[in-house]
Amino acid sequence: MINRNIEEGKTMAIISYITLIGLIIAFVMNNDKRNSFASFHIRQNVGIFGLYFVNIFLFSRFVDPSILFLIGLGTFVLWVIGLIGALRGKEKSVPLFGDLFQDWFKSIS
């Protein structure tokens, strides 16, 4: 049963990592037929995109561009780790923030 849940949600999980539009599409698709695997990865990616936008809009006014680059690179690494987890069918939280993302966005199911 668990493997079936992963296989059914894998496409939505992968789509959620493909641009912001993909995240919105996966969210809408998951609302029609709830899947815990897809919800896990949607919550992860909502958090990653949140970090990305905070980096662009908030930190860009107050932080040196080289530090912004490092934060952006770190966000990209988190995105790659999340995408690889979705591709492999694993519910593994991204480092540092993954468990927080699951807690903060638990209403996304």
pTM of the model: 0.86
Q: Which amino acid is at 90?
A: K
Residue pLDDT tens, the chain, 109 long = 468 888 888 999 999 999 889 999 999 999 888 888 999 999 999 999 998 888 888 877 887 888 888 888 999 999 999 999 999 999 888 998 888 888 898 887 6
Cα–Cα distance between 55 and 24 in angstroms, integer?
A: 20
Question: What are the distances in angstroms from CA 39 to CA 20, 44, 69?
Answer: 15, 9, 29
Residue 14's pLDDT is 93
- DSSP class of residue 93 equals P
Angle at 30 between CA 55 and CA 48, to 5 degrees: 15
State the Cα–Cα distance between residues 45 and 49, nearest whole angstrom: 6
